[in-house]
Amino acid sequence: MASVFFQLYESNLLGYEEVIKKLWSIIDSGKTDDKQIIKAITLINECYKQRLELLKSEPDLIGLKQRRKEMEIFNT
C-alpha cells in the first residue's frame, strides 16, 4: 500500500512540474496576451501552493514506508 502512495506522490509531483513548464511556455510565447499571462501566472501560483502541500506530506510517507518494512519483518 505504501508503494502505491509513493507512486501517486511521485506522479503528482511530476504532473505539477509538467503543468508549470507548460504554463511558463505559454507566458514566454510571443502570442500570449496580457490577460492570458495573468491567468497563467495565477495557475502557476496555485500549482506551487499545491506542490508545497504535497511536499509537506513526504515525511509522513517515508514514515509509512518504514513502518511497512517493520511489519514485513514481523510477518515473516
- Cell reading at 18: 509538467
Q: Which amino acid, one-letter code, is at 55?
A: L
pLDDT, tens digit (0-9, with 9 covering 90-100), for 18-56: 999 999 999 999 999 999 999 999 999 999 999 998 888
Q: Does the model's pTM come out above 0.75?
A: no
d(CA 70, CA 10): 23
**Could you give the count of Cα atoms lying within 13 Å of 1 in the half-sphere of its Cβ?**
6
| Angle, helices 58-75/34-56, rounded to nearest 10 degrees | 40
